[in-house]
Amino acid sequence: MTVAARFEADITPTGTDYDTVRRVIERLSRDYREQPTLETIAADLGRSPSEVQKTFTRWAGLSPKAFLQAVTLDNAKHLLGTEGLPLLDASLELGYSGPGRLHDLFVTHEAMSPGVWKARGEGLTIAYGYHPSPFGTALMMATDRGLAGIAFCDGDEEESAFEDMARRWPKAAYVRDDAKTAPYASRVFDPGRWRADEPLRVVMIGSDFQIRVWEALLDIPMGRAKTYSGIAGEIGSPKAARAVGAAVGRNPLSFVVPCHRAIGASGALTGYHWGLTRKRAMLGWETGRLGAG
């Protein structure tokens, strides 16, 4: 099944793949100490083990068990010894050695002038639309210069997600235009279409400090993570870990600018604007893509 086709099947708000997957991840994250069996999890969801197993594997590209290993490593402090904490060693090797090395979305970004930031988006026209994604419904926002924002929501949260985004540039004019944002959605969530010859244009609207942080995030390869303090050191303010955290949290382009790859120094996942479960989901999903690539 192609990725696009899977999105089609995903379009109903409840009972989506992501919905099932999310609940499995929640369960695994909470009870990983007990290493719950597939059978128990399925029983609690009121589904058969094979149903859960299939849905999960189709979505993540790896079994619930492998996923469990990938995300519970946020408690494996010993992996933090080296820079750039590999999420799953074997997969990482695969990701780098293949001819079509799975790097990120090749992103060309430009920073909006501080003027636009200070004017809170005044004079800017932003088209937006809602699209299904592996992590729930994605709200995409674009200016004519490129992609400017991505938000996530489940079910009936579309309004609040929009308001969350619109608050960032309160004076911009917003126009609903799904046709304009749809191409971005299909590009962003389909790793098969992440190519250097067709870079994704994004615009970053934020303060100097924020943009430096977001650029640092773009440097983190898929399936890896960095600590907040590591990022702070990299952008030349080694003591600003906490400020980095705040800036990461304000990242308007979630997923494209991989804010989910920033974790605490202990390996704990700390926070995520669109929900910790979604952060785990993204990390696990990426681990799965690496293994498949």
Considering the complex, state which of residue 20 and residue 237 has its C-beta at the smaller distance from DNA: 237
Q: Confirm or reject binding of residue 207 to DNA (CB under 7 A).
A: yes
x/- track of binding to DNA for residues 155-194 (CB under 7 A): ----------------------------------------
Task: Say how far apart CA 230 and CA 241 lie, in whole Å.
Answer: 8
* Alpha-carbon distances, residue 31 vs 25, 26, 28, 34, 40 (angstroms): 10, 9, 5, 6, 11
Least gap, CB of 136 to DNA (angstroms): 15
Q: Exactly one of 22, 109, 131, 260 binds DNA (CB under 7 A); which one? A: 260
Rounded CA gap, 42 and 26, in Å? 13
153 is catalytic: no
90 touches DNA (CB under 7 A): no
Which CB, 56 or 117, lies closer to DNA? 117
**Contact residue for DNA among 55, 254, 277, 287 (CB under 7 A):** 254
Q: Whole-number minimum distance, CB 270 to DNA, in Å?
A: 4
Site residues for DNA, window 262-291 (CB under 7 A)? Answer: 262, 264-266, 270-274
Q: How many CB atoms lie within 10 A of CB 19?
A: 17
Region of residue 138 (left: phi > 0; alpha: psi -120 to 50; beta: else): beta
Strand 136-143 to 146-153 pairing: antiparallel
Nearest partner of 107 among 224, 245, 204, judged by Cα: 204
End-to-end CA distance of the chain: 16
Q: Which of 228, 214, 225 is nearest to 290 (CA)?
A: 225
Nearest distance from residue 236's CB to DNA, in Å? 8
**Which stretch in 40-48, 86-94, 106-114, 252-260 sits in contact with DNA by CB under 7 A?**
252-260
**Nearer of residues 113 and 266 to DNA, judged by Cβ:** 266
Tell me which of 124, 259, 283, 290 is the catalytic residue: 259
Beta carbons of 94 and 290 less than 8 angstroms apart: yes
Binding-site member from 9, 76, 173, 246 for DNA (CB under 7 A): 246
Residue 290 contacts residue 91 (beta carbons within 8 Å):
yes
Using only the alpha carbons of the chain, give its radius of gyration: 19
Q: At closest approach, how far in Å is the CB of 160 from DNA?
A: 16
**Binding site residues, DNA, CB under 7 A:** 207-210, 227-229, 237, 239-249, 251, 254, 259-260, 262, 264-266, 270-274
Active site residues: 259
